[in-house]
Structure formats: C-alpha cells, structure tokens
Amino acid sequence: MQSDSTHLLPNGKNRRLGFFSGIPVLFFLFFSGQGCIPYLYHLGKEQAKILLQRKAISDVLADPEIPETTKTKLKEVEKIREFGIQHLALSSEGGFKSFVQLDRPAIGWHVSACHPLRFESYTWWFPIAGTVPYKGYFSFEKAKEEEQSLKEQGFDTRIRITAGYSTLGWFEDPLFSSQLYEDPGDLASIVIHEMAHATVYFPGDSLFNESYASFVEDQGADEYILKIGGPKLLEERKRSEEETKLYKNLIIETANLLKAAYSEGGREDILLAKKSEIISNFRKKILQTKWTKINSKKLAERDWNNEDFIGMLRYNSGTGYFRKRFLEVGKDFSKFHDEMRKLKEKSAEDRKALLDEK
C-alpha cells in the first residue's frame, strides 16, 4: 500500500479550477502521460459551465423572475462582501459579485484519504495550488469511483460535500445556489472563509490555509453578526453553536489521542487495537452526552476512521496561535493578515510547528 507519496493528479475542491482553461502545452503533455486527461476534461468542462452560467448579482436582483427570498439572500451577501473588505481587510478579489444557479444539490464532492495507522494524508499535486490532501469532482459518481480506488489500496477514506469554492483571486468566484443559507451567520461564514483564501494562501500548505481561513471566518462572522444585530443576536448565535462546538472538540480530542498513539509506534496489530479502543470510547462519549440537535445514535453507528479525525484537524488547527497573534496586533485584521503573509518565507513544516504551539 502506498503511504507517503504525492500523486501527480490535480484537485478540484476549492482551489484554482479555472487554470485548466489555459493549461500550458507542456503541462498537458505531462498529465497525458499520467493518465489524467479524463479528469482534466471533467474539471475543465464543469469550470467552463460555471463561467458561462455566472450572472452579476445586480442583474439577478433586477430580474422579475427571481424569487424575493433569493434576492434577499443575495443582498445580504453583498453586505457581507463589503463588510469583509472594509472591516476585515479581506481581498476585494475574493469574488461573490455574481451568482450561479446549480442543477445539483452541491457545488461538488471531494475525496480525502489517510493512512489507516498513521495521521498521514494521501495527497495529490497540481500546478499553482501545489500539494493538496483532497481531490474534487463535480460529479458524486466520479467521486465514489475515486474513493473506491483508494479503499482498494487500503486507505481510510471519506467523501465530503464541497461547501466552498475559491479560485484565490484568479477568477471572480460566484456565489452558488447551494450556498444560500437561511441563517445570516452561516451565510457570512462561507463568504468570509472563501474571501480569506484570496487574501492569504500558501501553495501546498492545506493545514495552514484552511485553519487560517477558519479562524478568520469565526472572528469575522461574529463581528458581522454583532454589527447587524448587536450583542443580543451574537449571544444567541453563540448559544446555538455551543453543541456544535462541543461535538467538534470531542472529535479534536479523539484525533489527538489517535495521533499520540500512532506516534508511539509499535506492531500493526497493537496499533489497530489502540485505534479500535480510542474510536470505541469516542462512540461511547457521543452516546453518553445529552444532545438536543445531534443524532447521537446515528453518529455512534458511523464507520469512523482516521480521515474523519485528521480532516477535523485540517480545518481547526492552531486556533491558539492565531488568536494570540490577532490579540498582539490589537484585533486589527489588516495587520493580522500582514503578519500571516510574513510566514511565506517559512516552510510548511515550520508553519505547522507554529500551529502546534500550546
């Protein structure tokens, strides 16, 4: 089983899908030799459809055929985008000036995989975005085929819905119909997260990129809710998120236990036994906790594996580090982004060490 290699295949989760429309001939020949043409064709075709289907939000708002509920949400997105630029110092190249009505329930689906006895992600590589631990598709069936191939190689796998989409400022990223969340806080979260990717991004360092964007998302969404609804609305939102936060912390706690167990090493059978015990205890904690919104029985029955836990760390590492730096610059987002950009000269491993600081 392959366990520590970077696979020369592009990814389509929420990275620069659009670059395929002008892919250089040498890259085309290279990928031809890797057997990637069907995948490139899939991405290129769907990306072209997105570019052709985009409609300026101003035009959508003027269209009498568009439901008022949709228009209300689009107006909210315009406010969030402006708030992100003016108050959170996010890049104006972050998109959300156009809209795409999808003919499917999600933007796409992405496949991730992890070594079954190490916290070691299976990775893909492609130009510009670098090494990434997920491969995206606009077709659920194609994602299932990719996942099956990885399972047959012995990896722990998971398919996730692609909620966000960013070309990192290379194209004007649209808002998709699947992102029109009812809650203004949820709507602010997705917009701010994707705008953050266009503000600071280090090719090949998904751990830092996603964790940074998640931190900016959390801080920025709170500030937006405070602005539109005051302390009372923000407090209500935080109360409603307490259960989700508890659930997330439980996954992170379990992830760290698994990570520590794998770091100790040992025979495969012993590691498998430790893994089974840790995940079994995790299931028990889920069932023992009193939830109001979470279906504990359904979650406990889920086939949990390494990818579930490392996936949570991928988006939620370094919170303490980011908060510390944010406070050091007086909660000034512009200065905070500048401090993050300075980390460009560091290696991904050095940045990971910063995120691991207690």
Written as six digits, the tokens of 77 are 């997105």
What local confidence, expressed as pLDDT, does residue 37 receive? 74
What local confidence, expressed as pLDDT, does residue 170 receive? 67
**HSE-CB for 173 with a 13 A CA cutoff:** 29
Cα 142 off chain centre by: 20
What local confidence, expressed as pLDDT, does residue 169 receive? 64
Alpha-carbon distances of 87 from 118, 203, 325, rounded to whole Å: 41, 26, 18
What local confidence, expressed as pLDDT, does residue 125 receive? 79
Place of tokens 């982004």: 337
What local confidence, expressed as pLDDT, does residue 349 receive? 95
Cα 152 off chain centre by: 25
Could you give the strand order of the β-sheet that contains 156-162, starting from the edge strand earlier in sequence?
A: 135-137, 108-114, 156-162
pLDDT in tens, the chain (358 residues): 333 333 333 233 332 222 223 333 333 333 444 457 778 788 888 888 888 899 999 999 999 999 999 999 999 999 999 999 999 999 998 789 999 999 888 999 999 999 999 999 999 876 666 788 888 899 999 999 999 999 999 999 999 998 877 766 666 788 999 999 989 999 999 999 999 999 999 988 989 999 999 999 999 999 999 999 999 999 999 988 899 999 999 999 999 999 999 999 999 999 999 999 999 999 999 999 999 988 999 999 999 999 999 999 988 889 999 999 999 999 999 999 999 999 999 999 999 999 988 6
∠ at Cα 5 (344, 279), nearest 5°? Answer: 95
Pairing verdict, β 156-162 and 108-114: antiparallel
* Domains of the chain by residue range: 215-357
What local confidence, expressed as pLDDT, does residue 188 receive? 96
- What span, in angstroms and rounded, lies between the C-alpha atoms of 198 and 203? 12
Q: Are 173 and 202 in contact (CB under 8 A)?
A: no
Residue burial 33-56, b: 16+ Cβ < 10 Å; e: rest = eeebeebbebbbebbeebbeebee
Q: Are 327 and 294 in contact (CB under 8 A)?
A: no
